[in-house]
Amino acid sequence: MSMDLSNVSEKLMEGKVDELKQLTEQALQSEVNPADILNQGLLPGMDAVGQKWKDGDMFMPEVLRCAKAMSGAMDILRPHLSEGDMGNAGTMVIGTVAGDLHDIGKDLAAMMFEGAGYKVINIGIDQPNENFVKAVKEHKPNVLGMSALLTTTMPRMGEVINSLKEAGIRDQVAVIIGGAPVTEEFAEEIGADLYAPNAGGAVDITREFFEKKSA
Ligand code: B12
């Protein structure tokens, strides 16, 4: 059944967590195609949030509320989606490095990648270097994301990259790093493939990276 899903986008943009959950459930009960709920309702809403944020028309607390609404709706929708519905952009492993407990930015980045059709494995905060390597071996992602918010934990990112080299798997994965103190120069210095100053832009530069690679 088809249905106007702009109200799904609207509730997401207003950050109405419970109302969006109800709406998602109602749509499923009315036999709206789950992939349509995602592609015509949630994703355009999240895109618009990302754009407003970039333009300075929305602030962090509102963005977080929208992200929470998206996440709640996805919990309801996920069991109804087939692998194909989720998009096949690839797989991402993402985590915050050892000694670092900050996860808000990492989770936003994870959500943006999920929204762009990635299967995202979020390994959490304070992850020892070897856990990143283990996760890359296990899940064979095409993207590895690392987050650090402290100048004292940033060096862990370079160490993980070195461990990937030692394990002979560095070339199998594109490494993208982020977090407030991280810079483009730092990314270059430690041999990361990509750096993004914000979560919205991260998806775009990753897409460009793979397009260039396959050209
Ligand atoms: C919230 C917060 C906390 C919370 C974290 C809660 C949580 N669940 O995450 C708590 C209270 C736990 C905390 C603790 C500490 N914090 Co703190 N914290 C912050 C604060 C205020 C906001 C961080 C945040 O969430 N920002 C919002 C998100 C959305 O932004 P973001 O993380 O930068 O992420 C964006 C981008 O960077 C990017 N991104 C982030 N990660 C990734 C990953 C990838 C792959 C990609 C592509 C993009 C990406 O995308 C995101 C969205 O655009 C910052 C100040 C600041 N302005 O940054 C200090 C700050 C980071 N904290 C700081 C400090 C010092 C600490 C403590 C040591 C304080 C203390 N003395 O106890 C502890 C350390 C704990 C630890 N071991 O990690 C300092 C760091 C200084 C430094 N340069 O090292 C800061 C800068 C505050 C300051 N000015 O002093 N903190």
The CA distances from residue 113 to 47, 128, 135, 150, 185, in Å, are 11, 23, 17, 23, 23
pLDDT tens readout for residues 80-137: 877 666 667 899 999 999 999 999 889 888 888 887 789 899 999 999 999 999 999 9
Pairing relation of β-strands 174-178 and 90-97?
unpaired
Around ligand 1, the residues with Cβ closer than 6 Å are: 60, 94, 99-106, 108-109, 145-147, 149-152, 176-181, 196, 198-199, 202
The CA distances from residue 107 to 10, 12, 43, 165, 198, in Å, are 22, 17, 16, 26, 12
Q: Closest ligand 1 atom, CA of 149? A: 61
pTM score, whole prediction: 0.85
Q: Which of 101, 132, 147, 149 has most ligand 1 atoms within 8 Å of CB, for mutation?
A: 149
pLDDT attached to residue 166: 98
Helix, strand, coil % (nearest 5) of the chain? 60, 15, 25
Judge whether residue 2 has pLDDT over 70. Answer: no
pLDDT attached to residue 85: 67
Domains of the chain listed by start with CATH number? 6-85 (1.10.1240.10), 88-214 (3.40.50.280)
pLDDT attached to residue 198: 82
pLDDT tens readout for residues 142-195: 999 999 999 999 999 999 999 999 999 999 999 999 999 999 999 999 999 999
Cα(40) to ligand 1 centroid in Å equals 33
pLDDT tens readout for residues 14-58: 999 999 999 999 999 999 998 889 888 988 898 888 889 888 999
pLDDT attached to residue 76: 93
pLDDT attached to residue 201: 82
